[in-house]
Amino acid sequence: MPAVTAAIRIISEAAASLDVAVKTVGEDGAETALAWHPSAAFVSGEANGWTSSYELIRDLVIDALSDDRGGLAFVNRSGDGRILEIIRPRAGVMQVTDRLSAYMATVPKRGLTVVCNQNGGPASYRSVADEMRDVKDAMKHPDAKTYVTHGLRKNATIELYLAGCDDEMVKAITGHSGVEMLKKYGGQERQKVLAMKAQEARNRAWTEQAQNTNVSKLVSKNQERKNSNDASH
């Protein structure tokens, strides 16, 4: 449906081009812009390390126009409640590790939500943060209290690179749309994997070249023998 796709693109891009501000509405209906609000910078500049606020709003409008579930944005906060970034989760099938799948099989199912509260509904950020705090309190590592929930995503990125995944494979799992944050998260592990793949390609090319050279020499020698035999006859 090209016409529908074009219409959605025009509407979403137009909406994302508008000036965005965080406002409070008084009892009299008057609106007051809150330039100091922590979320203001994320909806008028960079939503996160790989998505501009324009791209975020555009994609959320696309989701709202094309999906009955609407558009969803996740506000990622630090342990002290500060906003770190705003992320648009990608719709689709969620991939999990075998060990997580095995654990999930032992947990009673209360609905279709994977990370849920006691009633089967989606868990709130606060409940997840409280759970993480309990886990950190039980850890013996001296830096445990400085760990943040978002660090789990960084750990997953590093694990994927250590497993030999390339950038596209890592993005498919972590949901990153570009490689800039992968460079930040993957760091040296990403560089090692890319270097190993580059050397493998280099060695493969050298081997193929050497084989082709040997074949050429063999063909040349056979041709020389044939010419010599023809001359002797």
**CA angle, 136 then 139 then 141, to 5°:** 105
Q: Give the model confidence (pLDDT) of 8-51 as tens digits.
A: 889 999 988 988 888 888 888 888 888 888 888 888 888 887 78
Is the residue at 220 inside a domain?
Answer: no
pLDDT at position 31: 87
Shared domain check, 204 and 128? no
Is the residue at 17 inside a domain?
Answer: yes
Is the residue at 83 inside a domain?
Answer: yes
pLDDT top residue among 96 and 32: 32
For residue 214, pLDDT over 70 is answered with no
Q: Give the model confidence (pLDDT) of 126-160 as tens digits.
A: 777 788 888 888 888 888 888 877 788 888 888 88
Is the residue at 228 inside a domain?
Answer: no
Is the residue at 21 inside a domain?
Answer: yes
Is the residue at 52 inside a domain?
Answer: yes
Structural domain harbouring 113: 93-143
pTM above 0.85, yes or no: no
Shared domain check, 78 and 58? yes
Is the residue at 115 inside a domain?
Answer: yes
Mean pLDDT of 58-73: 84
Is the residue at 75 inside a domain?
Answer: yes
